Structure 1
Amino acid sequence: MTVFPELARRPRGRWRRLTGAAAALLLLVAPAPAAASRQDERPGPPRTLPALTNWTPGEGSYTYGDGVRLVARDAASRRVARTLADDLRAAGRGKVPVTSGAARPGDVLIDVEKQRKSLGAEGYELRAGERLEITGGTEAGAFYGTRTLLQLLAQGDRIPAGSTVDVPRYKERGVGVCACYIHISRPWLENLIRDMAYRKQNQLLLELKVKSDRHPEANSWGYYSKSDIRRLVALAAKYHITVIPEINSPGHMDPWLEHRPDLQLTDTDGKKQPSRLDVTKDESFAYYTSLVDEYADVFPAKSWHMGADEYMLGSDFAKYPHIRDYARRKYGEHATPQDAFIDFVNRVQAYTAGKGKRLRIWNDGLTGDNTVPVAAGTTVEHWLAVRTKPGELIARGHPLMNAAYALYLVRGGFHSDTRKLYEQRWDPRVFEGETLASRAGVTGAKISLWPDNGRGETENEVAASMRLPLSHVAQVTWGSPHPDGTYAGFTARDAAVGHAPGWRDLTEPPVADGTYTLRDVAGGLPPTAFEIRRTPDGYVTLRSARTGACLETREGKLTLNVPLEPGSSVTQETCDAKNTLQRWQLTPVRGGHRLTNAITRMAAHVTGDGRIAQYPPDQRTPTTWQLTPEAREYRRT
């Protein structure tokens, strides 16, 4: 991993170097301080995340009371008000009416004034007094003002009188999630969307597989149904988050190419490479663009991410001389194999542009070994130091997003060191390999979640470990990189605002610890007693009262250290508290509970021959389990 250069700390002033008698002498000869002005006595800004960059205090306070109304005067402000009303209800504050007309003392007035150009696309003004007023130059700006209000109300009903104008520094403030191999549950993603919006983040990159109608041979687990995606996208749109889809190409394509050997790159030994698409074939381009078209049915975003990273990871172009030959036929005798790769990227760029979408790629494929340039306007997300530096990419006309490795959370591996970044005053100008002097050309920054060791952590563990990295990136992309003098102060700020309204605690099992008789409602198995115990991350283990072994799924082909084959058996294995494959989620359903593995996200299904096997819920109906508490508690021996 490349180490980020530390930003210089502020030099200590002379006063800190004065000690003992010298300091005392200075106190004796210094003039007496003037009486503090009224302005010096004014309180600082109320605590929010991102922190308010300015605050003009007033006299008194605004109090949120029982008679509050949300007053909105046009269609845009009414949409914002309705979303706020939903969130106030989710926060336990009852049903607040949305109305029009004149605002009364105690009301919240929401307004969109398009002539307020100084607020930009997402800024807002908030004024608190007898009533509370939120004004945005756009609907998005007014929405972000309501996030500030919700954070203030999370800390009490009384808001100090005053005003602020709050405008973001960067236009892209995001999170990237690879649900591309290991399925991530929809409730987890919904929680993420709510918390992102609460912290004024506006972009979610999802690298995942949508169940394909055009290519059913690619529908191995873990895919998402189109209805799942439409529901996620609708929630994100409500909260002003753009969901950008990614299908990584031409590398990392094994989830799509597993059953398409005709499109797999073949090396000089005749060995097929399931993770690499052969960029020299017209059929490869047609296949990939057909997936773009199918995703357009459920992702309306005006951006498309094709990844384009690590195409030759673990190999090199010398193993595929036909790629060099293809490049030379197309671009002349001095063309390089890398030109064939860039050619594929540019063809996808032209295709997506024709569909009204702007292309995004990772930076590591831009090694400088190409003679063909990447099409100008292609957004580059920079995560790795290579020969082509961030400043060069901006000079060549590429919008640049900071997706630095220092911001990564690798499941079961590297985690971003938020304390270190905060204390170094890290900001989106600090890239791997280069720190830019200006923000010009930098679109923003994001944290990235990768499943390199899919069984290394559960979803709930990832959620806990990403909370402060999420808050840190939200802070540095909206406002100052260092709003509090200490990291402890920043973590206290995060704790004060808490989670978004509507965020669901996914760590509470629906049954208490104890021994239960499990019966499948279809009667495919005899009733069996299991000791159910909650795990620290909020799942359960099931230990057989008869054998002392624990339920686990471990059979079949491993992907990222996880058995992801539908139909693989659920067996009883030696109990191991550290083995995440022995953790299960119990979900109440009609007539009982559903049992889903915490890592594979497949549900337990009783087969016709009396086995328990894991399947995606749309391939086999998950078994409903009835749990009856045993009269006598089973004890471990």
Structure 2
Amino acid sequence: MDLIRTGLIPAPRAVLLDEDGRRFPFGPEPALDAGPGTGSVARWMRQELGAATGWTLPAAGAGAGAGAGAGTGAGAGAVAELRLRLDPDAAADRGPESYRIDIGEDGAELTGATTAGLFWAAQTLRQLLGPDAYRKAPLPGRTWSLPYAAVADGPRFGWRGMMLDVARHFTPKDGVLRYIDLLAAHKLNVLHLHLTDDQGWRIEIRRYPRLTDVGGWRARSRRGHRASPLWDETPHGGFYTQDDIREIVAYAAERHVRVVPEIDLPGHSQAAIAAYPELGNTDVVDTAALGVWDDWGICENVLAPTDAVLRFYEGVFEELLELFPAEVSPFVHVGGDECPKTQWKASPAAQQRIRELGVDGEDGLQSWFIRHFDGWLAERGRRLIGWDEILEGGLAPGAAVSSWRGRAGGIAAAEAGHDVVMCPEQQVYLDHRQADGPDEPMPIGYVRSLEDVYRFEPVPPKLSPEAAAHVLGAQANMWTEVTQDRSRVDYQVFPRLAAFAEVVWSCRPAPEERDFAGFEARMAAHYPRLDALGVDYRPPGGPLPRQRRPGVLGRPIEGAPPNV
């Protein structure tokens, strides 16, 4: 009951509220006592909580934290109503991202095992302050208080992520920064950016300017999925400059979110081939005639298996590694998925390469690509991760797997000693429709409701304990073929991302034992937070009239039951 009363999402490990319902009322200008090593969290609190409350949170005076009532004034000698502390010894027992919050008659003390744990404590504090703590300016006459409480918490998984596809429909930089804040508000700590695909190349590579000058733009876009006869004739595109990327990475790091860049190869590469035709299979395709693809699906135009193509992408990755420092982005995603082999089968040059390399056919060529970059990245202190197709033809020794085609790939990889991020399409693809009714906008794939996502279990029960230890965590994937703007992305992502966040942070019971009714009760307190953040989520009762897209076809799975 204490958990429901707090409305906290994701649920903490333990929460205890005062039986008498007492609350600590903040004074008009609370002081902040930031202990050693807590400066970054103090800076975030002054920026974010300060905007909503009007507080400046001045540093507490000498002797702060020794106890005082509410309403103490700021300035010299002011007693802290908020205190930040680090307790590194707690990391060994409760994990590096663990934290405690203690709220009593002298205010609130937040203690983290690391600065990451302390930051998650600050996110919990913000939730306890109420939905107006998420606004960008204070409301007139607003007063602030916290319930007397003790919270002890820490995450289940170290990889708690969301993939945002910015290649199919471009998300401007401010939108990416906004999603970093939304992830952090839900204690998610990985943003996987899908930066390149057939329909667009979204990152500046200075030695190859045509990747964005040409590859960053397409002439038109299909409106709806592949069955739709509708087209948007407006050219679409955009890209992030290298300074944009540096800003995104730094902004995320301040919020303890790691950014994982994805440069897709050897498939999903038509935008790159349109920019540099020599990258394609020129002996079977007139690659000079190709443009950036304007349709959705799996494209036949893939990279040629040549040393020149390897050198080209090494140049891409050299610039990429400079933008994503190892200490904040140790993983680099290379895609490796949905690579049709038709052109390689028809290409004399590709067939000759198979013989030269002594690999097992076209699958061996794909594995050759992945193994090359696995070694290349490892030599530079990075780890390769790719979609589960990288298992085809043999898994690169140091590679990790994003298991998207169900759990089988992740199970096979984990049992072979490879690390795995679980993101099965059937359960955590947020572009899939949320209900089976006709009002869902451009419905895609499986029906996956809020409860379906809440009952997702990242660790398959058949895994041995040794293999289960290789499950780094999970991520929810948001593909953007039919989500062309911020509102449409919001609608697909929320509120299901809140359920996913609880799965990867705190859900330990078997899926059928989880208290979904309790989660729904806490969501009643969470929807006003999303409102204050300006999130255009799907309401519990279904889409609003403005959220529907009548007459625009999606991609329901033929013959599938509503919840398959």
- Give the whole-Å Cα distance in 1 for the aligned partners of 2:304 and 2:128: 53
Quick one: percent identity of the two aligned structures?
Answer: 24
Instruction: Choose which of 386, 394, 399 in structure 1 pairs with 2:414.
Output: 394
- Give the structure 2 partner of residue 9 of structure 1: none
In the alignment, is residue 427 of structure 1 matched against residue 457 of structure 2?
yes
Gaps of 5+ in 2: 71-80, 133-143, 196-201, 218-237, 291-298, 433-441, 538-544, 554-564
- Give the whole-Å Cα distance in 1 for the aligned partners of 2:530 and 2:169: 28
After superposition, where does 1:315-464 map in structure 2 within 5 Å?
315=342, 318-320=345-347, 322-331=349-358, 335-367=360-392, 370=393, 373-385=394-406, 389-405=409-425, 406-410=427-431, 412-414=442-444, 417-422=448-453, 425-429=455-459, 436=463, 439-453=468-482, 457-464=484-491
- Give the whole-Å Cα distance in 2 for the aligned partners of 1:149 and 1:319: 61
**1:277 CA drift (Å):** 4.4
Q: In structure 2, what residue type is equivalent to 1:463? A: D
Q: In structure 1, what residue type is equivalent to 2:184? A: A
- Give the whole-Å Cα distance in 2 for the aligned partners of 1:51 and 1:238: 23
Cα offsets for 1:508-558 (capped at 9, x unmatched) = xxxxxxxxxxxxxxxxxxxxxxxxxxx9469xxxxxxxxxxxxxxxxxxxx
- Give the whole-Å Cα distance in 2 for the aligned partners of 1:51 and 1:43: 7
With over 3 angstroms needed to count, the CA separation of the structure-2 counterparts of 1:247 and 1:498, relative to structure 1, is same
- Give the structure 1 partner of residue 193 of structure 2: 206
Instruction: Choose which of 293, 309, 321 in structure 2 pairs with 1:296.
Output: 321
Cα offsets for 1:115-151 (capped at 9, x unmatched) = 2222312111111112211111111001100000001
Instruction: Choose which of 99, 116, 125 in structure 2 pairs with 1:124.
Output: 99
- Give the whole-Å Cα distance in 2 for the aligned partners of 1:437 and 1:142: 33
- Give the whole-Å Cα distance in 2 for the aligned partners of 1:436 and 1:496: 39
Q: In structure 1, what residue type is equivalent to 2:399? A: T
TM-score (normalised: structure 1): 0.66
- Give the whole-Å Cα distance in 2 for the aligned partners of 1:297 and 1:109: 37
- Give the whole-Å Cα distance in 2 for the aligned partners of 1:127 and 1:45: 17
Instruction: Choose which of 492, 497, 504 in structure 2 pairs with 1:470.
Output: 497
Instruction: Choose which of 155, 165, 171 in structure 1 pairs with 2:152.
Output: 165
Cα offsets for 1:330-355 (capped at 9, x unmatched) = 236xx332122111101111111222
After superposition, where does 1:33-182 map in structure 2 within 5 Å?
46-58=6-18, 60-74=22-36, 76-99=37-60, 101-103=63-65, 104-105=67-68, 106=70, 107-116=81-90, 117-130=92-105, 131-154=107-130, 157-182=144-169
Q: CA RMSD in A?
A: 3.2
Residues 169, 481 of structure 2: 8 Å contact kept: no
Instruction: Choose which of 202, 208, 217 in structure 1 pairs with 2:210.
Output: 217
Higher helix share: 2
In the alignment, is residue 485 of structure 1 matched against residue 517 of structure 2?
yes
Q: In structure 1, what residue type is equivalent to 2:38? A: S
With over 3 angstroms needed to count, the CA separation of the structure-2 counterparts of 1:420 and 1:324, relative to structure 1, is farther
- Give the whole-Å Cα distance in 1 for the aligned partners of 2:165 and 2:488: 16
- Give the whole-Å Cα distance in 2 for the aligned partners of 1:226 and 1:270: 32
Cα offsets for 1:19-74 (capped at 9, x unmatched) = xxxxxxxxxxxxxxxxxxxxxx9786622110122123446433333242221121
- Give the structure 2 partner of residue 238 of structure 1: 254
Q: In structure 2, what residue type is equivalent to 1:418? A: S
Instruction: Choose which of 248, 251, 275 in structure 2 pairs with 1:259.
Output: 275
What is the aligned residue count? Answer: 459
Instruction: Choose which of 302, 309, 325 in structure 1 pairs with 2:337.
Output: 309
With over 3 angstroms needed to count, the CA separation of the structure-2 counterparts of 1:264 and 1:120, relative to structure 1, is same
Cα offsets for 1:366-412 (capped at 9, x unmatched) = 24xx2xx32233110010049x6422201222111111113223394
- Give the whole-Å Cα distance in 2 for the aligned partners of 1:289 and 1:152: 48
Residues 419, 487 of structure 1: 8 Å contact kept: no
- Give the whole-Å Cα distance in 2 for the aligned partners of 1:94 and 1:537: 37
**1:310 CA drift (Å):** 0.7
In the alignment, is residue 189 of structure 1 matched against residue 176 of structure 2?
yes
Gaps of 5+ in 1: 1-40, 508-534, 539-575, 581-637
- Give the structure 1 partner of residue 561 of structure 2: none
Q: In structure 1, what residue type is equivalent to 2:102? A: R
- Give the whole-Å Cα distance in 2 for the aligned partners of 1:272 and 1:429: 46
Residues 206, 245 of structure 1: 8 Å contact kept: yes
With over 3 angstroms needed to count, the CA separation of the structure-2 counterparts of 1:427 and 1:494, relative to structure 1, is farther
**1:579 CA drift (Å):** 8.8
- Give the whole-Å Cα distance in 2 for the aligned partners of 1:466 and 1:389: 25
- Give the whole-Å Cα distance in 2 for the aligned partners of 1:491 and 1:506: 15
- Give the whole-Å Cα distance in 1 for the aligned partners of 2:515 and 2:550: 40
Cα offsets for 1:572-599 (capped at 9, x unmatched) = xxxx99899xxxxxxxxxxxxxxxxxxx
Q: In structure 2, what residue type is equivalent to 1:407? A: V
Larger Rg: 1
TM-score (normalised: structure 2): 0.74
Q: In structure 2, what residue type is equivalent to 1:323? A: A
Q: In structure 2, what residue type is equivalent to 1:494? A: H
